Structure formats: structure tokens, C-alpha cells
Amino acid sequence: MTTPPLSYFDDVHTHGSAGPGVLTSITPDELLRGDYGRAWYSVGIHPWHTADEISPGTWEKLEKLASDPRVAAIGEAGLDALRGGEPAVQEEIFLRQAALAESVGKPLIIHCVRRYGRLMELHRSFAPRQPWMVHGFTGKPQLARQLLAEGIEISFGERANPASVAVVPAESRHFETDMSSLPIEEIRKKLKV
């Protein structure tokens, strides 16, 4: 069984709904529901959950789920300057998930808040073969261009800056509902895509 690329998904990041064209984000403690091809998941340890030590059992669950063919991506992993554990701890947990993404051959979905410079440095030094994608991007076009120059893909939700959406080429651009009540079609319409 093969896992589809991020470009397969109409909604590349959501919490809750599941379906053939939807990538649902879960934690290692959640269960995969639905058959292969009818439900797809990303699984990871969010930076908000890095203030406490991650147990060996959580890592074991994450590694087991990562190999399931219904898991199309690892994450959301990330760096957050406003919430979660200390920066060094967040980076350690983030890089462990990046290494897992490489070992299972799946993309990494990234939550990033006010740490984009460091994210780009880590991408440069890690040199991943698998795609990295920042989800929920609301930044300016200049930052979008910098991420693209590093080889990082971008996903946009309902609060995205339309000027940033416009500078991202289709092959690096994705859309998501995340926690929005708007359907993905409405988000695309709002962003004029």
C-alpha cells in the first residue's frame, strides 16, 4: 500500500473530520479509524505538549502509528515561541519527529509560531529528503518567499493573507480547515484560489 503525497489532499490539515481527501491530525494517544483510502491521518507531538517530558510509551505509540499506511504525514510537530516547552526541548522533540518522517518516508507537518528563522536553519542543517510543510500560515509574502527558497511548502487556512497565497506556486501550496467551521471550498473561495 502506498501513501499519497500532500498534493492529493483537498484539506491537508484538520482536527476532527475524516474522509478520502482529508488529512486529519491526531496525537499518538488517539486511534486510527476507517479503512485505508477512506481515512488519512497525520500523527505527531504538538509543540504545545512539550512542557512535560514525553514518555517512552508515547514515542513507541508514535513510531508504531507512523508506519501505518493510513498515516500520510508526521506532525504536527513544531516550534512555538509563545507556548510549550523550552526552545531547546521543542527543537529536540521536533528533530526526533523529523527523523521519524525520514525513516518512514512521509512528509512533516509543522506548527510554527515566531520561530521561522530557526525553522529555516534547522531545515538547512537537517537537509530532509521528505517534504516539510508549514500549516496555517498567516505571514507576509516576504516570509512565504523565504520559506519557499528553503524548500518548505506552505498550507493556508481561513485567516491567510491573500497576498501570501498569491506568491506560492501551486506545487508548494496547500489548503486546510484546521479548526475552522468553514468548509474547504469556502476557504479557497475566500482566498481567491
Rounded CA-CA distance 137/178 in Å is: 11
Compute CA distances 95 → 16, 77, 126, whole Å: 26, 9, 8
Grid cell digits, residue 139? 505571514
Question: What pLDDT does 181 receive?
Answer: 86
pLDDT at 76 over 80: yes
Half-sphere exposure in the Cβ direction for 77 (13 Å, CA): 26
Say if CB 44 and CB 59 are below 8 A apart. Answer: no
Q: Rounded to the nearest 5°, which phi and psi values hold at 90?
A: -60, -45
Strand partners of residue 174: 155
Convert the pLDDT of each residue in 104-132 to its tens digit: 999 999 999 999 999 999 999 999 999 99
Q: Is the pTM of this model over 0.85?
A: yes
Strand partners of residue 23: 40
Rounded CA-CA distance 140/104 in Å is: 33
Convert the pLDDT of each residue in 43-54 to its tens digit: 999 999 999 999
